[in-house]
């Protein structure tokens, strides 16, 4: 029942373990926009209805993300801006790197600051020391919420015993072809501080693994959803509902207005049934395909 309750709230926001609110669908500036000027795409996303903007130092486009935010002209208070600490930086570099990010983004704070990867990190900084440095920028008001990304259960166990602040978010790859591997992380996060899961790569079965087992189970699900919704539903939207009902914040991207609208509309599509979720789970379990951060997961 928990996942359904989470999904029903997707029209608005999710409450994180620190009491702050996070919009449940985010526009990401990685993957297709990695290393590219994303200003026009970001402005389009904001103009179309996105308020949650997911960036990262490693994406190499924080300056154009900031330009897109400025061009859209939406009040800062109505936006939720995320950035992530670049891999390979030590504890002493956390604050300087975030200050630089804020300058590029053109804001005084980010709503959420994540450690992008637990590996590699310098020999002179343990993962806990890195987390304590992130706690320090939170204390200074440079980030309203703090969290991690691509953390395994072991990585979380390395910081939680010594943490003053429990991470609010763990952003990981979530789709049916990695669900068997992701589920223990999701469960651990729920049971140890109610750490929210943010997902990326959610459309992998359709975009990166065409013809895979999940393809066979989606058509009847889409048909049933269309009948319940009274309007067209896409396979993309069905997969987003699956992700939502796994209790995950969805991070996605596109530079096409029609696709952006489709993604935003997905939160209004009716819920999947338990049988439909199980059918997707079973199909996904037939094939393991991870496309991001393989080194973190030993693949």
The whole-angstrom separation of Cα 231 and Cα 245 is 21
3-state secondary structure of 275: helix
Tokens coding 272? 């999947």
Alpha-carbon torsion (16, 20, 26, 32), positive or negative = negative
Q: Is 59 marked active-site?
A: yes
Query: Buried (b) or exposed (e) across 74-83, using 16+ Cβ within 10 A?
Result: eeeeebbbbb
Which of 27, 59, 177, 200 is catalytic? The answer is 59
Find the radius of gyration of the CA atoms of the chain. Answer: 18
User: Per the omega criterion (within 30 degrees of 0), is the bond before 120 cis?
Assistant: yes
The whole-angstrom separation of Cα 229 and Cα 219 is 15
- The maximal CA–CA distance of the chain, rounded, in angstroms, is 58
Burial category of 192 from C-beta neighbours within 10 Å (exposed 0-12, middle 13-18, buried 19 and up): middle
Check whether 116 is labelled as a binding-site residue. Answer: yes
The binding site for substrate comprises 116
The binding site comprises 116
Which residues are part of the catalytic machinery? 59
């Amino acid at each position: 029942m928990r996942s359904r309750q989470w999904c029903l709230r997707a029209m608005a926001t999710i409450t994180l373990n620190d009491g702050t609110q996070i919009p449940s669908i985010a526009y990401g500036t990685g993957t297709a926009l990695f290393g590219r000027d994303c200003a026009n795409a970001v402005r389009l996303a904001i103009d179309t209805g996105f308020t949650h903007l997911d960036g990262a130092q490693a994406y190499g486009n924080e300056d154009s993300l900031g330009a897109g935010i400025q061009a859209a002209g939406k009040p800062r208070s109505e936006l939720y801006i995320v950035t992530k600490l670049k891999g390979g930086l030590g504890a002493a570099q956390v604050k300087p790197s975030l200050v630089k990010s804020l300058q590029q983004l053109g804001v005084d704070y980010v709503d959420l600051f994540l450690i992008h990867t637990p590996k590699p990190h310098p020999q002179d900084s343990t993962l806990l020391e890195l987390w304590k440095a992130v706690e320090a920028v939170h204390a200074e008001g440079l980030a309203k919420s703090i969290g991690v990304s691509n953390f395994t259960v072991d990585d979380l166990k390395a910081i939680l015993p010594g943490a003053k602040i429990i991470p609010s978010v763990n952003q990981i790859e979530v789709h049916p072809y990695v669900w068997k591997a992701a589920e223990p992380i999701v469960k651990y996060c729920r049971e140890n501080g109610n750490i929210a899961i943010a997902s990326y790569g959610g459309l992998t079965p359709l975009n990166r693994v065409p013809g895979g087992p999940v393809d066979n189970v989606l058509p009847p699900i889409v048909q049933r959803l269309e009948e319940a919704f009274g309007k067209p539903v896409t396979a993309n939207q069905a997969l987003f509902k699956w992700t939502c009902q796994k209790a995950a914040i969805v991070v996605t991207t596109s530079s096409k207005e029609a696709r952006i609208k489709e993604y935003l509309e997905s939160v209004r599509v009716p819920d999947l049934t338990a049988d439909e979720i199980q059918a997707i789970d079973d199909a996904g379990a037939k094939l393991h395909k991870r496309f991001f951060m393989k080194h973190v997961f030993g693949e």
